[in-house]
Amino acid sequence: MEKDRPIGVIDSGVGGLTVLKWLQKKMPHEQFIFIGDTARTPYGDRAREEIQRFVKEMTDCLARRKIKELVVACNTITVLGLDTIRNGYDFDVIGMAKGASNIREVTHNNKVGFFATDFTVSTGAHKREIERLDPGVEVFGLGCPKLVPLIESEKFGRPEMQEAIKEYVDAMKVHGIDTLLLSCTHYPFLHDEIAAAFGPQVTVLDPAEMTTDEAIKHLQNKGLLKTEGEGSLEVCFTADLARCKRLASRMLDLAHARFHLIDLES
Ligand code: DGL
């Protein structure tokens, strides 16, 4: 496989851009092709089979572009199981880190919370992984179904957004956590608001950097990491390009980005 191939990145919508930000920052020489399925977001309250079908469509689209690695910038798809994606493709598939590996260094009272989609919470994947690595830690997951639609519809700073954040933060506060993981890639759009609502006694963590380190390690192991040359960025959405561009500008330097509207179903 050649180093010059692009890296594919997928999400159900604009959430994956929060991971793309880290990928671009730490791998400035790579070409990235991002697909956000904004026509069918959110995935978090859909059935397993339906999500799997959508993921296959995105993966096939990127396989045709001859990617060398796929980063699944979505917790919901990651916990659904990456094995169905790994079968039959010639590239490595990297899922979202669950944030378990550095929890011990951050928590002092061994009470950790995570915000995620209902689907992600229902699988128990994050709780299992954190408790397996550190059995002394108590883990509390909370589904926050209002947040993805509010972020996708750019309700930043609006009363309905503030109320939703307060509702979820208050529900989590009762557990007395001192560490919170943002286990849905959309939520870092609200990192500062969520951190402010918890106050300084809670550390809010975004596992995107850890995911990026994992993606780099896989490329290095295969001798596929580019360390010179200019990087590039192609951003594809399945609906509402103008809105998605505005959201992307909150996360990325768009100076050299190319945007496309694509149709995965045809
Ligand atoms: N951003 C996604 C995640 O990390 C999914 C949001 C959704 O489509 O429900 O889980």
pTM: 0.95
On whether both 43 and 78 belong to a single domain, the answer is yes
Q: Which residues pair with 63 in a beta bridge?
A: none
Question: What does the CA dihedral 21, 165, 134, 10 come to, rounded to 10 degrees?
Answer: -30
Q: How many domains does the chain have?
A: 2
* Rounded distance between C-alpha atoms, residue 11 and residue 66, angstroms: 18
| Boundaries of domain holding 35 | 7-96+209-261
Predicted local confidence at residue 181, as pLDDT: 96
- CB–CB of 260/234 below 8 Å? yes
For ligand 1, residues with CB inside 6 Å are 11-13, 15, 41-44, 74-76, 117, 120, 148, 184-186
On whether both 55 and 72 belong to a single domain, the answer is yes
* Rounded distance between C-alpha atoms, residue 20 and residue 34, angstroms: 8
First to last CA, the chain: 29
CATH code for the domain of 214 = 3.40.50.1860
Ligand 1 atom nearest to 184, measured from its CA:
4
On whether both 197 and 219 belong to a single domain, the answer is no
Predicted local confidence at residue 102, as pLDDT: 80
| pLDDT one digit per residue (tens) for the chain, 266 residues | 799 999 999 999 999 999 999 999 999 999 999 999 999 999 988 888 999 999 999 999 999 999 999 999 999 999 988 887 887 899 999 999 998 778 888 999 999 999 999 999 999 999 999 988 888 899 999 999 999 999 999 999 999 999 999 999 999 999 999 999 999 999 999 999 999 999 999 999 999 999 999 999 999 999 999 999 999 999 999 999 999 999 999 999 888 899 999 999 87
* Rounded distance between C-alpha atoms, residue 178 and residue 109, angstroms: 7
* Rounded distance between C-alpha atoms, residue 186 and residue 200, angstroms: 22
